Amino acid sequence: MADITARLADLKARIDELAGLAAAEHREHASRLAQTLTGDLEGLLEASPPAPRPAGPPPRAPRDEVERCPVCSLRSYRFQRGTIRESDYGGFEALYRCGSCAHEGWKEIT
């Protein structure tokens, strides 16, 4: 990712240079620079995406499978077995359901 960041920063600097050359007396140089930038952008688009991170095995069920419900405050918010999934933000989360008010929600597990 650092390589792409450096390449994009270089492209930004060259685009700024191109903007400075927009006057009529520099059209030829601006045209060549624009063609070079187009080629570089196409190369970035064709670059392979970063390798996916290896997913480890999901964690075991939480030690305490019953917690306080965030809606009704009763201690009946239960972990639902078989619902562990990978979170969008990294880590894992599991589905909990309240036996009292039927509130359901995903909660991060460690």
Q: What is the pLDDT of residues 26-82, one digit of tens each?
A: 777 877 887 788 788 777 767 756 656 656 677 888 888 999 999 999 999 999 999
- Asked whether residue 16 is domain-assigned, the answer is yes
Average pLDDT over residues 10-25: 73
* pLDDT at residue number 35: 79
Type of residue at 27: R
Q: Which of 14-28, 32-46, 73-87, 96-110 has the lowest mean pLDDT?
A: 14-28
- Domains: count for the chain: 2
Q: Is 77 contained in some domain?
A: yes
Dist CA 107 CA 85 (whole Å): 10
Q: Specify whether 41 is located in the same domain as 70.
A: no
Containing domain of residue 74, as a range?
Answer: 66-109
Give the span between the Cα atoms of 98 and 30, in whole angstroms. Answer: 64
On whether residue 79 sits in a domain, the answer given is yes
> 51-88 in b/e burial notation, b at 16+ Cβ within 10 A?
eeeeeeeeeeeeeeeeeebeeeeeebbebeeeebeeee
Between CA 10 and CA 6 the distance in angstroms is 6
Question: Is residue 6 domain-shared with residue 41, that is, in the same domain?
Answer: yes
Query: Same structural domain for residues 39 and 74?
Result: no
More confident position, 84 or 50: 84
Secondary structure in 3-state letters for 74-107? CCCEEECCCCCEECCCCCEEEEEEECCCCCEEEE
